[in-house]
Amino acid sequence: MSFDGIVTNAVVNELISTIKGGRIDKIYQPEKDEILLTIHNKGINYRVVLSASSNNPRIYITNISKKNPMSPPMFCMLLRKHLTGGIVLNIEQFEMDRVVFIDISAVDELGQPTEKRLIIEIMGKHSNIILIDKPTLKIIDSVKRVTEEMSRIRQILPGSTYVYPPIKDKYNPRQTNYDEFKLLLNKENKNTAIYKFLYFNYLGLSPLISREICFKSNLEIDRTIYSLSDDDVSELYEEFSNIIKQINSGSYSPMYITTNNTMEIVAFHSLDINQFGSKNKVFIDNISKVLDIYYNKKDIVDRISQKSHSIRKAIQVKLDRAKSKLGKQMEELFDSKDREKYKIYADLISANIYKIPRGVDKIELENFYDENLGTMIIPLDVKLSPVENAQRYYKKYSKLKNANQLLLEQIPETENEIEYFENVLLGIDNATKVEELDEIKAELISEGYLKGNEKKLRKNKDTFASPQHYISSDGFNIYVGKNNRQNDYLTLKFAHKDDTWLHVQKMPGSHVIIKSDGKLIPDTTLEEAALLAAYFSRGKNSNHVPVDYTVRKNVRKPKNAKTGMVIYEDYKSIFVNPSLESVQKILKVED
């Protein structure tokens, strides 16, 4: 990961210059593995996020606000008890590892001064936030308790003595020299890649910065130690040493690198990274801002992925069942269309009872329904009498006739259910906020597809995340519903009858509204809105996607229709080629 020991060192330097000497005012726990400290220092309030998330562990000063649970978790209450009002005495890094100590002076319940140490261990799935009594190193508690069954090497439990994380025979790069470097190089397996040697042997070095050292040394990263000449080793150590000099002097250049098209962040660091080229590099004045930009988006994506998994799985199962059900219904409908022949069989048998001997498996009879008075071969059940065979065919005809009428009612219902489930899945794909997933879950509970607290649901019925807001190149406001609930709100409550309504043709997609404000909608605005409708639909990766548009008064919700389902008339169509690049050109208004 990019959040290595060097980035940790940059964060610690920044925390020392901002919050050291500050007072802890508030403590929150917005997530089960995340703590937010509000620290007041020199007239400024700083918010420090400490996360022990398995996917995104981190520590830095944040500007992002999160909703807090109604009732604070136990660990949050414990931190409030011991740390609220405390003064930050010191912040330091353990060796060059991703472990940060925050020492805090506070008072206990008897008013006696105490010194606590808040420890943030950034170690992937083993990350943790631990509160200890600094003089005795006794653990008070942690956000994740680690029992002997979970780890025989190191337990994290209240009352236990805190043990520093094992460093696995790695060396502190700030205390190395050329002789030690060569000695470690000679000990390493000769088939080891150069960049792996660096982070295998030195604390705080990530694969990213190890590759950067090789890049600056003009050495291919996949070259092995065996292939290095003495000059190569000298060059490698010189660049390695230059990195250490930057760390020791605190000469950091916080930055991140994006892709060409999607602007997704592919790497970040507190040092300048050149291995990806000079393009798409963004430098920022402090490391916390870089981390805030990167982790805010990544953390939301990860948490949405985790939260949406069970909902997606449940709806996908229901969708598969509905499609299977539709297939069987279509087969039964096809069979029912052949029902008239069974009535003819029954009529002909009944009219010729006296001609049909018992025990035959078929009989050829004159078909008086045929204008040419031809004959018809009728299959018979040898175990039944002619009268019973006639009754059997009358029953079969009656059953298929009733089934046909029933299927003509049921098939549209099943098709609507399939459309609804596909729209729900699209809403999950479009979700960029946890609140939007909560909307979808609430909707599914109200529709009876998921179990949940209906009382709580009714209480929160009128609260939802805002639809996405864009402004066209002509200055018109465009709104996009990202799930069924938002679609209903946009179309049925928010839009005026003369606003323009758009939806991708014959596939799941978002409702899009252009606010006309009594003006004529220009073609450029119409095309931009159509691009949004196509992009936020199942057709986002297709070309020549048809998008229907009409005025809002031509759109209505059928009786008993599910959330987000509407019908419309008197519309026109426009064909567009959706892409992320085309959508990014339309100005988005942030919430």
d(CA 281, CA 262): 14
For 100-109, write each residue's pLDDT tens digit. Answer: 999 999 888 7
For 174-204, write each residue's pLDDT tens digit. Answer: 999 999 999 999 999 999 999 999 999 999 9
Below-70 pLDDT ranges, the chain: 1, 260-263, 373, 453-464, 591
Q: How far is residue 116 from each of residues 13, 119, 252, measured CA to CA in Å?
A: 20, 10, 30
Beta bridge mates, 58: 51
For 54-95, write each residue's pLDDT tens digit. Answer: 888 999 999 988 888 889 999 999 999 999 999 999 999 999
User: How confident is the model at residue 300, as a pLDDT?
Assistant: 78
Q: How far is residue 302 from each of residues 286, 309, 445, measured CA to CA in Å?
A: 25, 11, 24
Beta strands 375-379 and 138-142: pairing type? Answer: unpaired
Beta strands 477-480 and 512-514: pairing type? Answer: antiparallel
Q: What count of Cα atoms within 13 Å lies in the side-chain half-sphere of residue 453?
A: 6
Domains and CATH numbers, the chain: 5-142 (2.30.310.10), 173-252 (1.10.8.50), 307-465 (no CATH), 466-589 (no CATH)
User: How confident is the model at residue 319, as a pLDDT?
Assistant: 94
d(CA 92, CA 99): 9
Alpha helices in 217-286 (DSSP H): 230-249
Other Cβ atoms within 10 Å of 179 Cβ, number? 8
- Which class for 427: exposed (0-12), middle (13-18), buried (19 or more C-beta within 10 A)? buried
Residue 28 is given by DSSP the state E
User: How confident is the model at residue 262, as a pLDDT?
Assistant: 58
Give kind and range of the element (H or E) at residue 479.
strand 477-480
d(CA 362, CA 175): 100
One-letter amino acid at 551 equals V
- Which class for 315: exposed (0-12), middle (13-18), buried (19 or more C-beta within 10 A)? buried
Residue 450 is given by DSSP the state S
d(CA 75, CA 15): 23
User: How confident is the model at residue 265, as a pLDDT?
Assistant: 86
User: Residues 131, 159: contact at Cβ < 8 Å?
Assistant: no
User: Residues 283, 16: contact at Cβ < 8 Å?
Assistant: no
